[in-house]
Structure 1
Amino acid sequence: MKKPIRVLTKLLLITVFIISCNSKTEQKKSIAEAISVLPNATIKETIAYYYKLKEEYPTKYNFEKENELNTLGYQYLSNGKVSEAIEIFKLLVSEFPKSSNPYDSLGEAYKTAGNNELAIKNYEKSLALNSKNINAEDIINKLKYSKYDATRFGKKYKIKEYKDDLDELGRRLSEVNPNVYKFISKKDFWSAIESKKELITESTTFSDFLWYCSEIIANINCSHTSMGYFNQERKLIPIELRFPLEVKMINNKLYVSNSLINKEKVNLKDEIVAINGKSIEVIKLEIFKHISSQGNIETYKKNFLNAHSTSIIPYALGFPKSYNILLKGASNSIKLSPLKKYQNNFQKLPNYLCQETLCFNYSKDKKTAFITIRSFAYYGKRFKKFKAFIDNSFDSMAKMNIQNLVIDIRGNGGGPSDAGIYLLKYLSQTPFTYFSSSQFSESLNEIQPFSNNFKGTTYITMDGNGGSTTGHFMSLVKHLKLATLIGEELGSNQFCTGGQKRLRLPNTGIIYSVARNTYITTATSFPIDRGIMPDHEITQSIDDYVNDIDTVMGYTLSLLQKKDK
């Protein structure tokens, strides 16, 4: 009986094999590939051919999967054939009218073509079909509200509209940001919102409400969740209400860095101890409550205040019509003249050899190279520029047999992780893993350093403006002990919530961004509420600032001199 069973088993296996082979031969062909083979066909002819094949061979080609046409549309778009892409996406929409993604793709094509009206229309259809389409909601807000109404400074909304917007703000912050309660308890977060509601009266203006909202957002201590770089507030404030001096906070003291219209009343470097009867400490604490930064990092807040002093001080003081300042050592206050015009230069960054975003220099003796990287923000195709700069810099260093490297990342607000990883591959001597937690799985793998990596001594100058990817990069630099760090506490660290979603409050129209993805490097031993700390903490004095002396770089050069002796 065993032999017939074995024969039957073989017959069954052969039958299964034949069925399997037949199923493979009957697999439907790609419709996208089929309509792409017509030589010199117009897009109109290509689409006509699509309908012809669908009518004559409805089961031969894959008409059921929307990604077929979607991929083809993006191929046209990436090749600069925007009008052709639009037609393919229009076909996609007509074939899959109840799906969200086709409208999202068509919206992107119209946006690329500069037709914002149709882009918004299709993104709104996509969002209606899928309320969780964050991309569509984000772009709708960017396109619809790109023009900011700067005339609403004193406008008053209804009390209910203000309160409803505060509830909406709290709801969206807590829904979108996965770490909203990382640095503040849920109870304290919602209590803060209720306390702001109690402040609202019929006299509350739009500018007052902006200030309330900025504090609510800053409460969660996330640098990627904010109302922007004070753009909305700055655009609103009338020129005559601005604080008529540029000031710089150094070691919790406030100094005049530009007298502006008050040159005859106030001197450069004068220390201000009070404004309109309020001490600088009280004003500082009020301002810091409204600046979004990572954890309890104050260096970023300080630099933010310095950059926006003429506009942020009025908000903190309730928009006084005049300003009286008390200087250190003086018994009487000085009444300042109001501004008649003003152009904000956002305070100059200290620089040693370069004011550009990317620079490569070297010393006369060719022992030391200087690389300036003011930004890691080289996304997409622009990454080639960053890669070429880094490659060329390290190639030049190898040819010159450079012994010391100084990397200046002051003012670097971050960018894609690719940039930080690429630079680390030239600095690290051993394999490393960049992220311990990230939405990008490839960043969780072990990364091999370049064979021609730099083997000399590295110094990095840093400041409180270093954010996002700069924090990730520097956390690994410190963790792997790749360089000596000089300057002030970095404005970021190994932990951040990034990937911003742009939102708008329904009644007041306030625009804000909320981070939605968690990124943590493998340098998890550092505290998440403080920035990466320097090995040598150096602060620029007001004298050095006014005289354009780069204190941090000067100290770095002194370390180099000691090393080479």
Structure 2
Amino acid sequence: MTRSVIIPLVLLLNSAYAQTKSLLKPGDTLQYIPLSHKPSWISIQSGEANLGIALFMDGKKLKEQDDSRGTKSVERFYFTPEKGRKYELKIWAKSYIEKSRPAEVSITESKNTSVLDGQFSPDQFVEDLRTFRSIREKANSGLYVYRTRKEIDSIYRQAETEAGNSKNIFDFYKVIANVTGFEGSCHNYTDLPNHASYYLTQKPEYLPITLKNVDGRLLQDSKDVAIPLGAEILSVNGVPAREMISRFSKYYFSDGYSMPYKETTGFERGMLDKFYIEFGTHKKYVITYQWNGNIKEISLPGTSWENFKKLQDSRHSLHFDQKLLSEKYSFTKEGEGIYRLSLRGFDFATGKEDPAYKKFSVFLDQMMDTLEREKIQNLIIDLRGNTGGTGALYEKVFSFFTPRPFRDSQYAYTLFNEVPLEEKLVITPLFLSNGVNDKHGLNAYLKQLYPKEVQGKYYWTDDKNPSIMPDTRTFKGQLYLFVDQRVASAASHLASLIKSYTNAIVIGKETVGGYYEHNGHLPLVYELPNTGIQTGFSIVHVIQDAQNLPDQKRGHGIIPHIKVQQSDQEFLDQTDVYLKTVSELRKQKQ
């Protein structure tokens, strides 16, 4: 049960408007009343826990924030109080190192904030890298799936040299992100303890445009800036577009050797932080671009971080994605004799006992009613943007399309059933939400699912991996499957089954999730002792129930039968080229 604790002591300082310290116990929520009546920065920090914060005005929540994920991290925001309003800040521990319990919390209100110091010694970086490798070797069942021991040894030798030469936490993060991606799992995770913007300059030195990778071309994605919307960016400060795409890709991770996700995602999710880790901030940006067949060059001053964030939040391509991802699932008519089942995520239910699962089952039954009543012979299954979630949801979907029984996997295993290196284990929100507060609860869970060892591997029990029968009603018409580079985990698992065992014509881009296998089911997160960088991965290696296909090489995502590309005009018009492709295919059949 959560208990609220009001912070009793406030100390006024010359360097700050106010500062206080308090002890936060597991399950407690601290309540803090800001003292300043003028605009100020509020910084909340703990050395023992990752903090979540929420700001309330007159009892109504204004914002909730968890920008920094490390337990040695800080949360900060700019507070602009309105006269006559009552404000309250609530603070709680979202995660903590397994050996930690009560956490000391420091709260400071000040006129300005300083850039965080990311300086460590070369010895500390090397020690963290060696700890990182030890964690992977003891706990990560996916470490040697796509890479040989010789290849892993080689990249770590290179990484140790680079770690020893690192001058700051950004340099080291580049090294460790590269090693993380080399393994080949879309569930891998390695990130800084604090949001990258906290380490960056507070001067106006940020890129004054936004970028979008459209089929290997960087297009200008902002309206009302000095470069036309949709212009192809050829270089920024002398760095060619192809090099930017390649260097930016190392911060994003995919199953096996799949590249589309790695090369596009940074321009959608990482422009506020990882772009500047890799390319730095600059007072001036010299940009070469192509527009209407002409190559031009322009020099633009850097902009403030706040202005760049506004550009990102209002970028041209975002509207299409927001519309596409507005509902978790939907069923719509797309023309005469064709419907579309859109599935944007499988994270809306926790399992078969969840009311949301039962509601979804009713939705699918109603879909089948419509398809049968109208004698529909064409159906699109649209998985674009679906990053996965609960396995029971994708299994329910596939039961309406399969002619045969199927299982979640042929087999699945982990390397342990007692968590190793528990002193560096992070007790994450996922654990806490399921009542797991320490290693003992996690070990009990692991022993239940993976009880027996066979030659150093602990296999998933058969009763947790039952044979699933087709529904009494299955669709027997023509399927079209839409996939893009974001399709992962449970969604890519579904896509592999649909491609493997139905007549679906797969349209789109190679998925980030693997066709034959992946690491999934249960993620663990560890924290490195010196830098506080967190690294995580899913510990269970899953061999999927998919058959060998000639166009599906091991180590890749679901390969589409028809790849789609967007022209410059289609980018400007935000044309749905997937639906356009289906329309053209159906015309060819007529």
Work out whether the TM-score is over 0.5. Answer: yes
Is contact 2:492–2:513 with CA below 8 Å preserved after alignment?
yes
CA contact (8 A) 2:513 2:558 kept: yes
Aligned pairs for 1:202-351 within 5 A: 204-227=167-190, 232-233=195-196, 236-238=199-201, 240-258=204-222, 263=225, 265-307=226-268, 308-309=270-271, 311-328=273-290, 333-340=297-304, 341=307, 342-343=309-310, 344-345=312-313, 348=318, 349-350=320-321
Residue 373 of structure 1: aligned partner: 343
Q: What SS does the aligned partner of 1:249 have?
A: strand
Change (3 A) 1:556 1:250: same
Q: Structure 1 residue 276: deviation in Å?
A: 1.6
Q: 1:418 aligns with which of 371, 376, 392?
A: 392
Tell me, yes or no, if structure 1 residue 161 matches structure 2 residue 182: no
- The residue identity in structure 1 corresponding to 2:505 is T
Amino acid at match of 2:517: F
CA distance in 1, matches of 2:103, 2:366: 42
Which one scores higher on RCO, CA 8 angstroms, separation ≥ 6?
Answer: 2
- Return the alpha-carbon distance in structure 1 between the equivalents of residues 497 and 386 of structure 2: 16
State which structure, 1 or 2, has the greater radius of gyration over its C-alpha atoms. 1
Q: 2:327 pairs with 356, 371, 375, which one? A: 356
CA contact under 8 A between 1:276 and 1:323: conserved in structure 2?
yes
Q: Are the equivalent residues in 1 in contact too, given 2:325–2:385 (CA < 8 A)? A: no
- The question of whether the paired residues in 2 share the 8 Å contact of 1:435 and 1:444 is answered with yes
Q: Could you say which residue in structure 2 is the equivalent of 1:536?
A: 562
1:127-150 CA deviation, whole Å, 9 max, x = no partner? xxxxxxxxx987779997999999
Answer yes or no: is the 8 Å Cα contact 2:342–2:383 preserved in 1: yes
CA distance in 2, matches of 1:223, 1:229: 18
Residues 184, 364 of structure 1: alpha-carbon distance in 2 compared, 3 angstrom cutoff: closer
| Contact residue 230 and residue 571 of structure 2 kept, 8 A | no
The structure-2 alpha-carbon separation of the partners of 1:236 and 1:441, relative to structure 1 and needing over 3 Å to count, comes to farther
- Asked if structure 2 preserves the Cα contact closer than 8 Å seen for 1:272 and 1:325, the reply is yes
With over 3 angstroms needed to count, the CA separation of the structure-2 counterparts of 1:325 and 1:215, relative to structure 1, is: same
Shift of residue 338, structure 1, vs aligned partner: 1.6
Percentage of pairs with the same residue: 20
Match of 2:500 in 1: 479
Q: Which moved further from structure 2: 238-247 or 222-231?
A: 222-231
Query: Which residue identity lines up with residue 510 of structure 1 in the other structure?
Result: I
Residues 1:402 and 2:376 are matched in the alignment: yes
SS at match of 1:244: coil
> CA 1:270–1:230 in structure 2 vs 1: closer, same or farther (change >3 Å)?
farther
Secondary structure, counterpart of 2:507 in structure 1: strand
Cα pair 2:498 2:504 within 8 Å, conserved: yes
1:391 match = 365
Question: Secondary structure at the residue paired with 1:204?
Answer: coil
In the TM superposition, residue 487 of structure 1 has moved relative to its aligned partner by: 1.0
Q: CA deviation at 1:395?
A: 2.9
- Kept in 1: contact 2:193–2:534 (CA 8 A): no
1:495 to 517, 520, 527: 517
Which segment is superposed worse, 502-511 or 311-320?
Answer: 311-320
| Contact kept? 1:192, 1:216, Cα under 8 Å | yes
Query: In structure 2, what residue type is equivalent to 1:299?
Result: P
Structure with the bigger percentage of helix: 1
Q: State the Cα distance separating 1:417 from its structure 2 match.
A: 1.8
On the 8 A contact 1:489/1:531 being kept in 2, the answer is yes
Secondary structure of 1:397's partner? helix
Distance 2:106 2:146 in 1: 34
Per-residue Cα deviation, 1:209-250 (whole angstroms, up to 9, x for no partner): 222221121111111112269984466544644333211223
Taking structure 1 as reference, are residues 168 and 474 closer, same or farther at Cα in structure 2, changes over 3 Å only? Answer: same
Q: What is the TM-score of this pair, normalised by structure 2?
A: 0.66
Q: Report the secondary structure of 1:215's partner residue.
A: helix
Deviation at 1:364, TM superposition (A): 6.1
Aligned partner of 1:517 among 540, 556, 560 = 540
CA contact (8 A) 2:118 2:199 kept: no
Gaps of 5+ in 1: 1-81, 84-108, 121-135
1:554 aligns with 580
- Residues 513, 353 of structure 1: alpha-carbon distance in 2 compared, 3 angstrom cutoff: closer
Q: Residues 264-290 of structure 1, C-alpha deviation per residue, up to 9 Å, x if partnerless?
A: x31112112222212222222222233
CA distance in 1, matches of 2:265, 2:390: 22
Q: What's the Cα RMSD here?
A: 3.6
For the pair 1:453 / 2:474, whether they are aligned, the reply is: yes
Q: 1:274 to 1:515 in 2, by over 3 A?
A: same
Q: 1:178 to 1:465 in 2, by over 3 A?
A: same
**CA separation of 1:350 and 1:549: change in aligned 2, threshold 3 A:** farther
Compute the displacement of 1:415 (Å): 1.2
Gaps in structure 2 of 5+ consecutive residues: 3-24, 31-45, 50-94, 413-459
Partner in structure 1 of residue 438 of structure 2 = none
